[in-house]
C-alpha cells in the first residue's frame, strides 16, 4: 500500500485555449510551477480541473500529460487521478488507463445522479472500481456539497475495511469534523485522510491531519507552508492570522462569481489557464482589473506562489 | 419543427443480463409490447433507463437497437434519446450519433455536478448541444429531484425562445404546476410540455397537458388510457379513482426500495429486464414473492399492460 | 362534527397602525369587505395574519374582534383560528380561549423548532391540543415550506383516524398532489381537505377539492369565483386562463419582496392594513407607485375584490 | 459591557415531574451539581432546556428559580436566558423579566417561522429586543440546523457593530469554521464567540475559542476540563483522544433517538430530570437499561460529572 501523503496536494485547473480546447503545452510549466512552490502532489480531473465537464478522451489526455512530466522528473510529485463519475464501468475504463500511464493512485467519487442511500451501497460502487485495479491505491473523494451524497465517511470506511485492500483513504471536502476525527482514529489511523477544505486547514491540523488537497494550493503555497510551520512550532496566533488571510482570499472567489474565479488567481500568479467551460460561469469580461485591485489590497503578495 | 406529441411516452428500462451486460435481444419484444399497449413513444437512456449508469458505448447501442425496431415498423412510435450529462461535449457526441441512427428527437438535462446558477447559464449549456444538431428537435428534461437544479422552466423557455430554433419543449418531471401552466401558455402554447409525473397526470390534464413521459407507462398503460378517456368524456370521478389506483401502485415502489422496483413490475407483466446496475439498489432477493402478493392485492390486474 | 366547508376562505392580514400596534377598528370593515366579495370564512392568525409574530394577547384580541363581527352578523362567515405554535400548552391556552369567544374551529400547525420525525409524534402533539377542546373541530395546517415538517398528510390522517373525534381535516398548503388526492379519498372522503395554494386551485378542483384557504382570496375573489364557475360549467380553457392571471398577479409578490407585498394589494383594493412586523420585510418606501403600475398593467381590474 | 466568558457553560435540561410539569425543586440540586463539576455558567431555556416547548410562564419560572440559586451563592455562575422566539414583542417581555430577576445576559435566536432573508433584517429583529434592555448584554444564538436561518455570523456581527452597544457576541452552534474564525478576528476580537458544538471543541480551541456552551457539559465536565487542560499544555494527542471519547458518547444520542436521550445521561450521573415534552420523542420505555450498558462500555466513568 502507498505511504500516507504528508504535505499539500494541488488540484490543478485544466488549462484551456481560447477556443475551449485543452492547452496541453501549458501542463509542463504548470507541473514545474507547482513543484517549485512546494506542492507534493496533484489531484487531476477533480472539481477544480472540471473533470466532469471534460470528455473521457480529454480526461485521459490530461492524465497522460501530467504523467509525462512526472516521468521526466527524478523526484516526481504524487499524481492522483479522479476517475469517478456516475457509471462505474466508465470509471473502470479510466482506472485502467490511469494504471497504464503510471498514476500513483486514483480517486472515486459518489455517483451524483442516482445517489446511494447507504454506506453499503456506496461501498459496493467503490469496490467495483477498485477491484479492476487491485495494485493501485484508491481514494474516495467526499464532497457532499457537489454530489449531494452526505453519508458519514466513518460508515464508508467501516464498510470498506477488510474488504478492499487497495482502499487508501479519503479526500475529505466537507465540514464534519466529528466524522473526520473518527476516521483519523479508526483502525489505528490506517487510512490516509486528506483534508479538502483549505479555508479551515488549521482546525484539521489540530485534529491530526497531515495531508491536504485543495485548489488554493495552486496559487498560495507560501501562505499555507508558513501556516503549517507556525502551527508546528507552536505559534498558533500567527497560524490563525494566516488562516484568516486565506479566508479573506477565498472570499474573493465568492465576490467574483465562484469557482470561475480560480483561473483569475492563476493568471495573477503568472500561469495562464484560459477560461472555464460551460456550465461554469467564467469571470465577467472586464472584472479582472477590479479583481486584481482587490487581490493587491489583501496585502499578501509574498504569500502567493511564484512563477519564474 | 416536430409536431407536439399527443399521448403517453414510456421511458424504457434497460434490459440487462444476469452478468450486468445489456440484453439487446430483449429490445425487439419490448418495442412491440409498448406499442401494442398504446404507448406512442419511447424516451431512451433516461432515469428509468439508467442512462447515467451506462457507458457511452452502451447508450449508443441502446439507441441503435430501438432505432432498428422503429425502422422495421411502418408506423413507428416516436423515439427521443437523452444525450445529456455533465459534459456538453460528450452530449454533442451522443447527439450526432442520435441523428445518425434516426432518433426523432433528443433531450438534454441540466448538468448535475456543477449546477448552473441562472436560466441564462443553463440555456447556454443547452444551446451548445442543440447547435450541433440543428435539424433535430431538442427537449429539456427537467427533474430537479435528481439534478438539484431547480430553475423555473418559464425562465429557461424565455431564455431559449427566439435563440434556439430546434428547442421543442420540456419533459417536466416536477410538481411546480404554477411554472408548468405558465410554460403551457407561453408564446401561444408553442412549446411541447410533456408531463413527467405519472402520479398526478390528472392534474396536468386539467391544466392542458396533452402528452406525458413516465416509467409506469411501461407496465400500466390500460390504467392511464382509461384515465385520459374518462377525463375527456367528463367522468371526472372515475378519472380520480384511476389516479388513486395509479398512486397505490406507485406507493409499492417506495415500499420495495424505490426505482429498483420498476423492473419487478416489468417481470410481473411478462417482460424480463433483469436487474439494475449499481448504485441503484436492486430489489432484495426473495422480496419478489411478497411484491407479487401486494400487486395482486391492488385488484387492478386489468389495468396492467399485456404481453402476448 | 362541522360540515365540510365549500367555497373560499381568506386568511386575513392583521391590520396594523403606523406604530406597529394592531388596528382593531379596521377589522369591522375588513369582515364586511370579505363577506361582500363572496368569501365564506376567515382563517385567523395564520401565516398571512403573522400569528407567530404577534403576542399571545394580540392573537386573542384578534380572535375576539373577528368573533364580535360574526356575532353581529345574522349569517356569519366561518371563523377558524390558528392556535398552533411550538408549545402545545400555549396552544391549549389559545384553544380554550377560541372556544370561549365562539370560534367555529381551530387549527394546529406542526411544531417548527423541534420537528417531529414521524406521523405518530406529530399526531401525539395534535391530539394533546385537540383533547382540550373536544367539542371544537380541529384542522391541521400543513405548510412544510415554513415549518420544515414534510410528513405526508395521508400518514397523519391515518394516525389520527379513530383516535381524535374532533379532527376535521387539513389546510393543505403544499404541492404534493399525490398525497392530497390520497387524503381526499381516505375513509370515504370523511376529512375536509382545504386547498391552500391559490396559484394552483384549478388542479385541486380537478382532484376534487371543494374548499380552499388562501391569502389572495383577500383581494381577488372575483377572479377565483369566476375560475370555479367556469370549471364547474366545463369551460376549462377560460378556467386555465384565469388561473394564469392569478399566477401573474402572484408573481408580483415575488417581484416586490414576498409576503410583505400582500398588504400593498389590500391597499390597492381599498383596505388599509398598514405594515408588516419584523422579521417580515416591509415593501420598500416608494415601491408602492411602481407596484400599482404593475398591477394596473395586468389589466384585470374587474377581477379584484371591491370595497364600497 | 460584560467581560468575555472563559470556560464552559452548560445548557440545562428542564427538570420535569411525571405529569409533565416543571420540577422546580430539582433546580437547586442541579445548580450545585453543575458548579461543583466546574461549569462556569448556565444557558437557560435553550434547545436543551426545551424553551420553545414551554409556556412563557414556565420560561419565567425557570429563570426565577435559577436566579434564586445564584443569589444564594457568594460566587455565582453566569446565567444567560434565551428570550428569543418568533415574536420580538414576546421576546421583549421575557427580556424585561430577565432583567428584573437578575440574569447576567440574555440571548436572542433567529425567528424560525418567517426566516429573515438578510443579515440586515435579522439585525433589525435582534436590535428591537436589545433596545428594550440596554443595560443587559445580548448574545445571538446561532443554530441553523434548528432555525433554518443560515446567515453567516460575520455578516450579522458587521450589521450590529456600532449600532447595538449591548450586543455581546454569539453562541455559535454550527460547523462553519471559516465564519467562526472571521468573527473571532473581527474588531480586534471584541465579541464573545461562545462555541456551541461540544463534539468539535478541540478544533474551536485551535482557532481561539475560550468559552463554550453545550448540553454535554451537563454531565461530562471532567472529560472537557481535561481536554482543555491537555490542549493548553500541548498534549494534543491526548486532547484528540478525549475529543474522540466525547464523540463516542455523543453518538449514543443518535443511537437512542436524539435529543430525548440527554435526560438519560443526567439520570446516569444521578440528576433526575424526568421526561421530555412533546414533540420531542422520549427515550423508549425499557431502552434505559440497554443505554446504561452502552455508556458503561465506553469505559469512561471517570470522565462523567459527579453528583454527591
Question: Is there a contact between B236 and C206 if contact means CB atoms under 8 Å apart?
Answer: yes
**Which residue is catalytic, options A141, A180, A231, A256?**
A141
- How far from D148 is each of A305, B148, D112, CA to CA, in Å? 39, 19, 7
Coil/strand/helix, residue D138: strand
| Interface with chain C: mutation pick from D148, D279, D282, highest number of C CBs within 10 Å | D279
Interhelix angle D177-185/D153-160, rounded to 10 degrees, is 30
Cell of A200: 479551515
CATH number, domain with residue D79: 3.20.20.70
Q: What is the DSSP letter of C74?
A: S
B47, B50, B124 ranked by CB distance to A278: nearest: B124
Q: Which pLDDT belongs to residue C125?
A: 98
Question: Is there a contact between D88 and C128 if contact means CB atoms under 8 Å apart?
Answer: no
Q: Quick check: is A2 in a domain?
A: no
Chains C and D touch (3+ CB pairs under 8 A): yes
Helix or strand (DSSP H, E) at B92: helix B88-101
**DSSP for chain A, written as a single string:** -PPPP-EEEE-----B-TTS-B-TTHHHHHHHHHHHTT--EEEETSTTTTGGGS-HHHHHHHHHHHHHHHHH-SSPPEEEEE--SS-HHHHHHHHHHHHHHT-SEEEEE--SSS--SSHHHHHHHHHHHHTT-TTS-EEEEE-HHHH-----HHHHHHHHTTT-TTEEEEEE-S--HHHHHHHHHGGGG-SEEEE--GGGHHHHHHHT--EEEESGGGT-HHHHHHHHHHHHTT-HHHHHHHHHHHHHHHHHHHHTTGGGGHHHHHHHTT-----PPTTSPPPPTTHHHHHHHHHHHT--GGGS----
Q: Could you tell me if B132 and B95 are in contact, meaning their C-beta atoms sit under 8 angstroms apart?
A: yes
User: Does the pLDDT value for residue D18 go beyond 90?
Assistant: no
**Contacts for D63-70 with beta carbons within 8 Å, 24 or more apart?**
D63/D97, D63/D98, D63/D101, D63/D103, D64/D101, D65/D24, D65/D27, D65/D28, D66/D12, D66/D27, D66/D31, D66/D42, D67/D101, D67/D102, D67/D103, D69/D27, D69/D28, D69/D31, D69/D32, D70/D31, D70/D102
Q: Which pLDDT belongs to residue D286?
A: 85
Residues of C with CB under 8 A from a CB of B: 175-178, 181-182, 184-185, 199-200, 202-208, 234, 236, 240-241, 243-244, 247, 250
Helix or strand (DSSP H, E) at D144: helix D144-147
Task: Say which range, A153-157, B277-281, D191-195, has the weakest mean pLDDT.
Answer: B277-281
Count of other CB atoms within 10 angstroms of residue D234: 10
CA distance B115 to A168: 29
CA distance B223 to B249: 11
CA distance C246 to B171: 24
Q: Could you tell me if D252 and D294 are in contact, meaning their C-beta atoms sit under 8 angstroms apart?
A: yes
Question: Is there a contact between A146 and B53 if contact means CB atoms under 8 Å apart?
Answer: no
Burial of C297 (0-12, 13-18, 19+ CB in 10 A): exposed
A217: distance to nearest CA of chain D, Å?
A: 17
Residue among C23, C14, C40, C140 at smallest CA distance from C84: C140
User: Does the pLDDT value for residue A20 go beyond 90?
Assistant: no
**Using one digit for the tens of pLDDT, what is the confidence trace for A202-245?**
999 999 999 999 999 999 999 999 999 999 999 999 999 999 99
Cell of B57: 458505448
Average of per-residue pLDDT values in chain A: 96
Question: Is there a contact between C244 and B203 if contact means CB atoms under 8 Å apart?
Answer: no
Which residues in chain B are contacts of A89 at CB distance < 8 A? 54-55, 58
Residue with cell 384553544: C95
Question: Is there a contact between A181 and D243 if contact means CB atoms under 8 Å apart?
Answer: yes
Q: Could you tell me if D48 and D262 are in contact, meaning their C-beta atoms sit under 8 angstroms apart?
A: yes
Helix or strand (DSSP H, E) at B10: strand B7-10
**Using one digit for the tens of pLDDT, what is the confidence trace for D197-214?**
999 999 999 999 999 999
Cell of A296: 493587491
Q: Quick check: is D133 in a domain?
A: yes
Q: Is D141 designated active site?
A: yes
**Using one digit for the tens of pLDDT, what is the confidence trace for C15-43?**
999 888 999 889 999 999 999 999 999 99
User: Does the pLDDT value for residue D83 go beyond 90?
Assistant: yes
Which residues in chain A are contacts of B279 at CB distance < 8 A? 88, 111, 114-116, 121-122, 124-125
Q: Quick check: is A180 in a domain?
A: yes
Residue with cell 452548560: D10
Chain B partners (3+ C-beta pairs within 8 A): A, C
Which residues, other chains included, contact B208 with Cβ-Cβ below 8 Å and sequence gap of 6+? B181, B184, B189, C236, C240
Give B211's strand partners: B7
Give C108's strand partners: C140
Q: What percent of chain A has pLDDT over 70?
A: 100
Q: Could you tell me if B284 and B200 are in contact, meaning their C-beta atoms sit under 8 angstroms apart?
A: no
Residues of A with CB under 8 A from a CB of D: 175-178, 181-182, 184-185, 199-200, 202-208, 234, 236, 240-241, 243-244, 247, 250
| Average pLDDT over every residue of B128-138 | 98
**Residue A250 confidence class, pLDDT cut points 50, 70, 90:** very high
Give A169's strand partners: A139, A192
Indicate whether this model's pTM tops 0.90.
yes
CA distance A9 to D163: 44
* Cα-only R_g, chain B: 18
Backbone angles phi, psi at B181, to 5 degrees: -65, -40
**Using one digit for the tens of pLDDT, what is the confidence trace for A99-134?**
999 999 999 999 999 999 999 999 999 999 999 999
Question: Is there a contact between B207 and C208 if contact means CB atoms under 8 Å apart?
Answer: no
Angle ∠(B225,B229,B235) on CA atoms, nearest 5: 130
Question: Is there a contact between A200 and D178 if contact means CB atoms under 8 Å apart?
Answer: yes
**Using one digit for the tens of pLDDT, what is the confidence trace for A171-193?**
999 999 999 999 999 999 999 99
Q: Which pLDDT belongs to residue C230?
A: 98
Question: Is there a contact between D279 and C87 if contact means CB atoms under 8 Å apart?
Answer: no
| Average pLDDT over every residue of B20-39 | 95
Cell of C247: 399566477
User: Does the pLDDT value for residue D308 go beyond 80?
Assistant: no
**Using one digit for the tens of pLDDT, what is the confidence trace for B175-184?**
999 999 999 9
C185, C204, C244 ranked by CB distance to B244: nearest: C185
| Average pLDDT over every residue of D60-70 | 98
CA distance A267 to A245: 20
* Cα-only R_g, chain C: 18
**Which residue is catalytic, options C141, C172, C191, C219?**
C141
Give the CA diameter of chain B.
Answer: 54
| Interface with chain B: mutation pick from C207, C234, C238, C253, highest number of B CBs within 10 Å | C207
**Using one digit for the tens of pLDDT, what is the confidence trace for C202-237?**
999 999 999 999 999 999 999 999 999 999 999 999
Q: Which pLDDT belongs to residue D1?
A: 58
Question: Is there a contact between D181 and A243 if contact means CB atoms under 8 Å apart?
Answer: yes
Cell of B128: 451548445
| Average pLDDT over every residue of C251-262 | 88
**Residue C1 confidence class, pLDDT cut points 50, 70, 90:** low
CA distance D210 to D23: 33
Helix or strand (DSSP H, E) at C266: helix C262-268
Q: How many CB pairs under 8 A join B and C?
A: 69
The residue range of the domain holding A79 is: 7-303
Q: Quick check: is D97 in a domain?
A: yes
Residues C107, C111, C112, C113, Cα dihedral to 10°:
150
| Average pLDDT over every residue of D246-263 | 91
| Average pLDDT over every residue of D81-95 | 97
Query: Could you tell me which chain D residue has the CA closest to the CA of C93?
Result: D55
Q: Which pLDDT belongs to residue A1?
A: 58
Q: Could you tell me if A144 and A182 are in contact, meaning their C-beta atoms sit under 8 angstroms apart?
A: no
Query: Could you tell me which chain B residue has the CA closest to the CA of A278?
Result: B125
User: Does the pLDDT value for residue B16 go beyond 90?
Assistant: yes
Average of per-residue pLDDT values in chain B: 96
CA distance B268 to B249: 13
Q: Quick check: is A308 in a domain?
A: no
Cis amide bond preceding D279, omega within 30: yes
Coil/strand/helix, residue C201: helix
Residues B174, B176, B178, B183, Cα dihedral to 10°:
-30
Length of chain A equals 308
**Residue A298 confidence class, pLDDT cut points 50, 70, 90:** very high
| Interface with chain D: mutation pick from C87, C112, C120, C144, highest number of D CBs within 10 Å | C87
**Using one digit for the tens of pLDDT, what is the confidence trace for D128-151?**
999 999 999 999 999 999 999 999
Task: Say which range, A136-145, C274-283, D144-153, has the weakest mean pLDDT.
Answer: C274-283
**Residue A271 confidence class, pLDDT cut points 50, 70, 90:** very high
Query: Could you tell me which chain C residue has the CA closest to the CA of D84?
Result: C53
Q: Which pLDDT belongs to residue A281?
A: 87
C199, C207, C244 ranked by CB distance to B240: nearest: C207
Count of other CB atoms within 10 angstroms of residue B134: 11
**Using one digit for the tens of pLDDT, what is the confidence trace for B75-124?**
999 999 999 999 999 999 999 999 999 999 999 999 999 999 999 999 99
| Average pLDDT over every residue of D16-34 | 93
C178, C203, C208 ranked by CB distance to B247: nearest: C178
- How far from D159 is each of C74, D121, D123, CA to CA, in Å? 53, 9, 6
Question: Is there a contact between B244 and C208 if contact means CB atoms under 8 Å apart?
Answer: no
Question: Is there a contact between B52 and A113 if contact means CB atoms under 8 Å apart?
Answer: yes
Q: Which pLDDT belongs to residue C242?
A: 98
Coil/strand/helix, residue B142: strand
Q: Could you tell me if A199 and A208 are in contact, meaning their C-beta atoms sit under 8 angstroms apart?
A: no
Question: Is there a contact between C177 and B175 if contact means CB atoms under 8 Å apart?
Answer: yes
Instruction: Name the domain count of chain A.
Output: 1
Q: Which pLDDT belongs to residue A269?
A: 97
CA distance C52 to C75: 30
Q: Quick check: is C1 in a domain?
A: no
| Average pLDDT over every residue of D103-113 | 98
Backbone angles phi, psi at D175, to 5 degrees: -105, 15
Which residues in chain D are contacts of A236 at CB distance < 8 A? 206, 208
Count of other CB atoms within 10 angstroms of residue A273: 20
Q: Is C141 designated active site?
A: yes
Residue with cell 383596505: C271
Question: Is there a contact between A206 and D208 if contact means CB atoms under 8 Å apart?
Answer: no
Q: Quick check: is C308 in a domain?
A: no
Q: How many CB pairs under 8 A join A and D?
A: 69
CA distance B288 to B267: 10
**DSSP for D87-99, written as a single string:** -HHHHHHHHHHHH
Amino acid at each position: 500500500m502507498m505511504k500516507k501523503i504528508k504535505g499539500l496536494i494541488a488540484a490543478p485547473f485544466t488549462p484551456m485555449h481560447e477556443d475551449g480546447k485543452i492547452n496541453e503545452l501549458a501542463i509542463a510549466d504548470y507541473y514545474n510551477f507547482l513543484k517549485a512552490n512546494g506542492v507534493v502532489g496533484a489531484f487531476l480531473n477533480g472539481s477544480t480541473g472540471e473533470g466532469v465537464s471534460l470528455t473521457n478522451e480529454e480526461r485521459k489526455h490530461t492524465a497522460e500529460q501530467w504523467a509525462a512530466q512526472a516521468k521526466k522528473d527524478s523526484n516526481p510529485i504524487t499524481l492522483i487521478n479522479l476517475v469517478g463519475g456516475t457509471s462505474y464501468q466508465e470509471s473502470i475504463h479510466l482506472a485502467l488507463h490511469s494504471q497504464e500511464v503510471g498514476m500513483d493512485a486514483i480517486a472515486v467519487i459518489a455517483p451524483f445522479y442516482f445517489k446511494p442511500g447507504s454506506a453499503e451501497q456506496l461501498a459496493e460502487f467503490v469496490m467495483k472500481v477498485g477491484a479492476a485495479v487491485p495494485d493501485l491505491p484508491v481514494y474516495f473523494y467526499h464532497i457532499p456539497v457537489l454530489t449531494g451524497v452526505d453519508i458519514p465517511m466513518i460508515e464508508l470506511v467501516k464498510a470498506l475495511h477488510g474488504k478492499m485492500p487497495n482502499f487508501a483513504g479519503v479526500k475529505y471536502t466537507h465540514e464534519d469534523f466529528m466524522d473526520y476525527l473518527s476516521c483519523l482514529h479508526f483502525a489505528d489511523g490506517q487510512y490516509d485522510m486528506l483534508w479538502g477544505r483549505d479555508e479551515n486547514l488549521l482546525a484539521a491540523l489540530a485534529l491530526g491531519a497531515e495531508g491536504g488537497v485543495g485548489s488554493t494550493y495552486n496559487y498560495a503555497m507560501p501562505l499555507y507552508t508558513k501556516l503549517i510551520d507556525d502551527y508546528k512550532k507552536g505559534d498558533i496566533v500567527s497560524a490563525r492570522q494566516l488562516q484568516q488571510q486565506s479566508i479573506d482570499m477565498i472570499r474573493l472567489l465568492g465576490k467574483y462569481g465562484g469557482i470561475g474565479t480560480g483561473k483569475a488567481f492563476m493568471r495573477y500568479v503568472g500561469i495562464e489557464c484560459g477560461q472555464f467551460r460551460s456550465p461554469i460561469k467564467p469571470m465577467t469580461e472586464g472584472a479582472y482589473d477590479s479583481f486584481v485591485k482587490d487581490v493587491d489590497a489583501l496585502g499578501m503578495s509574498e504569500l502567493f506562489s511564484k512563477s519564474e
